[in-house]
Structures are given as structure tokens and as C-alpha cells.
Structure 1
């Protein structure tokens, strides 16, 4: 059966359905990919954040074929509605309430005055799987 995917949010239930119809658990798929079950669960939960290469590996494992075709009508071919005309001398309400593009921040020396360490994010070590 063919499934048209038009948004990234549609990818998750379709991957889940193909995995279940193949009779596989997340653990079984993860073992075949050479990764942990948690890593596969993360990919299945948010497939939009996975690389195309990883998605292709999962699709191959699930024996799913990806097809692409051009739609019959070109995107953006629908007529655009014109913006309402602006009267001269008036500023739209949206422009009146815009925040200033330059935000004031405390200087680095003010924050770091009590400690000698430079301000930078503390890196946490995560185990990265290379698959």
C-alpha cells in the first residue's frame, strides 16, 4: 500500500506501522541496526530530526521502498491575495509594538566578577553511536 507523506509529522506513525506490520520490536530493529533500543526509540519518536542516511537504513531494514513523484500542480500556483493598501502617514499596529532589535545584556565582566572562570557551557559527555 502507498502512503503519501506531506508533512514530517506523518513520518512517525508510518514508520511505527511498518515496524509493527513486519512483526518487529524496537529492540529487534535496534539489534539489526547495531544500536541501542533507546537510540532507535528516539529515532522513531522524532524521525524528522534523523539524518536521511539513518532513515534509509531503517527503511531498508523494514523492506520499505521510497518513491518520489512530481505533483500534478506546481506548489505556489494558487493566486496570492493582495495585502490591504496602507494609508500614508500611518504605522501599522504590529510595527508600533516591535521590540528594539538591540537587546541590552549585562557585560561579561559584570557576571564573571565573582568567579575567575570564563562563561561557557559545560559540556556533558554523551555516548554517540556511529551508525
Structure 2
């Protein structure tokens, strides 16, 4: 270990970290290129060739030229994923979407339990309403 000083270890780790960061950015850019439905095939091919032939310059130019669009596409995909996830939860739980009419028995029981906890209804009223919901 004497022939490789601590400062050289630091610089090696720094360069390795920067290389890994650049790889993540390169994969993010390739993902964005293929996700962009407004760009035609020739444009996608051009950006990919540019990023492969001149990797550092290609990545830098792409981020400068299309960085705002990358963010917008990321936000759009996140919103679509969240909506699909919420829809899946509604279908799995058996509840109706907001504005789609009445709720499920579990929703009604939860509402009744909240009313009982707040003291708005008595235990007897809760039991009668619970029996009505479950029947």
C-alpha cells in the first residue's frame, strides 16, 4: 500500500464516482430519447449516434437542448403511473372512483366508526347502522 498514496486513492474514487454518474445520466438520456413520442425516428437515431460517437459532448448538449422536456416527460410519466396505481387500488379494494356513486361497505363502516369515536352517534345507533350496512 506504500506505492499507492491516500491522495491517489481519493482521486481514483472521485473519478470512479464521476464515471458512474455519467453512466446513469447516459442511460437516463437514452430512456428519454425512446420515451419522447414527438421526436421522429431519424431524430432519435441522430441523438443516439451523437451520444455514442461524442459521449461527453453529446450528453452535455442533450441536457442543455432538451433538459426541460426531459423534466416534463418525467412528471407526465409519474402522474400516469400514480393514476394507474390509484385505479388499481380502487379496483382491488372494490370501491367506486370519486364521483362515481356510493362507496363500499368498508367505507360506510369506517365513516360510522368515525362518527361514533367523535361522539356524534351512540353505541346503540352505531350497532343498528352497522347491522343495516352489513345486511
TM-score (norm 2): 0.27
Structure scoring higher RCO (CA < 8 A, sep ≥ 6) equals 1
Q: Which has the larger radius of gyration?
A: 2
Greater share of helix: 2
TM-score normalised by length of structure 1 = 0.28
